Structures are given as structure tokens and as C-alpha cells.
Structure 1
Amino acid sequence: FDEEREKIEFREGVVGSTQVGAKGGAISGLRKVDVPVADPAKGEGLVALVDGLHTREGVRADLAAVFGKNPHAVALLDDCRQGWGHLVQAGVVTFMEEAMETYHFGLFADFAPGLAKSSFGIVYPESVAAETDEVLNKIGETFRQGLDPVRLLRQKDKLTRELEQARKKVARFESRAGDLQKQLSRARERNKQIRVRTSRLEEQRDQLNAHYSKQRYKIVDVVARMASRIPGLRSLLRRNTT
């Protein structure tokens, strides 16, 4: 789509905007990315997202423009179900009835239960039907496996075993933590007893020191009195003091 390519540029990076809260530089500072152009003459395909005017004529015109530009294209259409679904599907039917080639249409919700809420549809020509059907089958298989009852049951059993193992580990850790807590409590109790015993020993030491001090002074007094009663020692003491 040459006209659209002239209007749109792709650049690599983040553009800052105060309105959306994104932090980045100005667009002029971002490197421009060239988008390759599919060449229908070489059989190159194109995946087009159709989400334009939700009317019969609007959808028909969009599909005609896509496949008119590239007959090997694959068109993905949004809003093929719910509120706009009947109008979008009507446009698809009109396009397929007017087209000269054979086209296929399918709803993603029909491919697998896991896609039941999808509103996407797909339109593709017969020329790429084999490759497209193969891809769609793989997509459907992927989502079917996600909801397969046997697979879900196995996953449930696996998760149950893992949960039980995790619970056992938690129980072992809690038991170990309980043992460590008991050891810590016993150690704290021993430390408390040691502090009490140390305090008592220090008190006894202070009492003994006080007692020995009193006894020492008494002994000195007794010796002094006894010395004063010895005549020779008393005269000797007088000479030494003079």
C-alpha cells in the first residue's frame, strides 16, 4: 500500500509523552526502520489486520483492497463475534460471493476451546490454504493441549506433589526453627543463671574484702598495744620517731 507507506513511518525506540507518562526522546532522534515490501509476483505473502469500518460494505471493501494488492495475503479480522459480529461476517460473505477466486473463512473461537472468547476471524485464498490450515491446526492443537482433561489432571497431580513436598520442607524448617528457639531459650536461661551467680560471687568478694580490711586494722591496733608494753621496744620506737 504505497499511499499508506508514505503516510506512516516506523522508528526504533521510545517516544516521550507527558500525556501517556512515557519517558523518551524526541521522534527526530530515533532511527527510522525500513519495512520490507512483499512482492506478490514472487509469491510473497502478506498478513493484514482488518479492523476498519464495521459495516457490510466497509468490510467487503477492506478485503477487496487487501487481496487486490496481494492475492497471496492472509487477512485477520477483529470483531467477528459479539456486537459487530453479524455485520463483519456479512461483509466477509459478500466479498467471498463476489470474488473470482476461492477464499476460506474461519473463526478462531472454533479452532479450540481455549480460544472460545476470541473475536478474531481469518480470511485466506485457496492458493495459501495448505500452509494456512497447517498453521491454524498447530494453533488449535496448542490451545487444545492447554485444556485437555488428561493433561490438566496430570498437571494437577504434579502440582499437588510439588505442593506436598513444599509443605514437608516448610514443616522441617519450622521444626528446626522450633529446636533452635528452644536452644536459644536454654542458652538465655543459662546466661541469666550465670549472671546471678556472678553477682552473688561479686557480693561475697566485696564482703570478704570489707571483713579483711577490718581485721587488718584490728591486728595493727593489737600489735601496737603489745609493742607499747615491751620496755626495750618502746624506747627504740621513741628514738626512731625522734
Structure 2
Amino acid sequence: MMDDATIEAIADELLEAGRSRVPIPRLTARYPEMTVEDSYAVQRLWRHRNEDAGRKLVGRKIGLTSRAMQQATGITEPDYGAIFDDMVLETGCSVAWDQYSHPRVEVELAFVLKKDLTGPGCTIFDVLNATDYVVPALEILDSRIEMADRTFVDTIADNAAMGAMVVGGNPVRPDAVDLRWISAILYKNQTVEETGVAAGVLDHPAAGVHWLANKIAAHRDGLKAGDIILAGSFTRPLWVSRGDTIHADYGPLGAITCRFD
């Protein structure tokens, strides 16, 4: 386990990288002994520093839950990060492209909870029972650490690469549709770039949510009523450039559009 001073120093580096938009050198190149637990310790301290600065925690993201994402990254275990209030954008928004480093977009579903969820022992049925509604969402991936050769350990410390999310479309109750068969078509500048089905996320988009509740229970943490949980991408990440327009068509669940300016 890394000592507290090193964890603090890394968290401070990441805070500064978020402000300056200059990614820091890869952590695993500088700290080859760094473990997954070390990374989550960095992330927790980074999160608390942000909360102390006035940002409000409104939910969590789950990453690397689909085969598409695992094959794109070479990583086979999910991870998670924090969502703050200023990360939640609405469809139709203009996104400041230079506010992010290496922005990419993913197609997801967001679960909004009406009850607390805590592990261990949380099941998919507990998740569905605790969910108020499910709504289409895009995740904007960011990177405060250099991209080249980064590992799972780097990504976790970097708040699981969470930049922002765009919410839109039609909210639905979790029993109103077959969540596994929700599908989406992702366009960039009127060209279809990716398609996907929500079952690509661990066979059911709610599966990542109960994984998360059980995972954070080890740190005496839980999910709260009102939390937004980004359940994981069912497409590969799509690189975006300044001026790109992104449109995600979820069929009966509506659509999300945003532009990177």
C-alpha cells in the first residue's frame, strides 16, 4: 500500500491537471508498484478535495462493463468514478471541447435511484426495485493522465476517465421496457459511427449497478436515493473533435444531441 503522502501528492497532481488541462505523466510508469486499492485511495481523496471545494456528489459512473469496452481497452474488470453536479449536462447543449483532454463519447443508460442501495449481497432485483427511472445518457470521457500505455490502475486514479454526461430522451420505469433490448445508433456529423444494445453491459444494464453497490460496501460507502448511476457503455468510445455534432438515437426512448465547440 502506498503511503499517505504519495497518495496526497498524486491527488493534488490530478486536481491541477483538471484545472490546467495538461495531462500528467502516466502513474504506472512512475509508481510501478501502484495497486488497484492505491488507485481507489487516490480517487477517494481527489473526490473529497472536490467536495471540500464546493462540488456536490450526485452519483457514480461504472466503466468497462461491456465486451466492446473491455476489448477496446484490454481491461476485463469494471471500475467506477464520481459524478459531480457540474458534470451533468442536458441534450441540446454546446460542450466546450477544450475543457477536456482527449474527449471521447460513449452510449449508456443512467439509472436514477428512489431508494438507497447498499452491499454486500445487493442483487440485480434490488437494483430494479430501487430504481425510479432509467434514461438515455452519453458519457464524455476525459483524461487527466497521458493516454499512451495507461492501465486500469491509471484509469481508476483518474476518476475512471469521467468528464461529463449528457442526459436526454424519455425516462422510463425499469419495468416498462425490456432494459436488455434497449438499443442506440450513434452518429457523428450525420454519419453512423457505432450501434449497440444494452445487454452488452454484463448481459443486463442493471448488473453493473449491483456490482458497484457491493464493491463500495467494502469502503463503508453506498448508493443513495436520488443518485444518478451511469451504468456503462454498450459501444466503443468515439473520439470527437472541435466542431463535431453528436446524435444518439435510442428509438422509442428518444434521442440525445450535443455539439463540441
TM superposition score category, shorter chain reference: under 0.3
TM-score of the superposed pair, with normalisation by structure 2: 0.23
TM-score of the superposed pair, with normalisation by structure 1: 0.25
More helix by share: 1
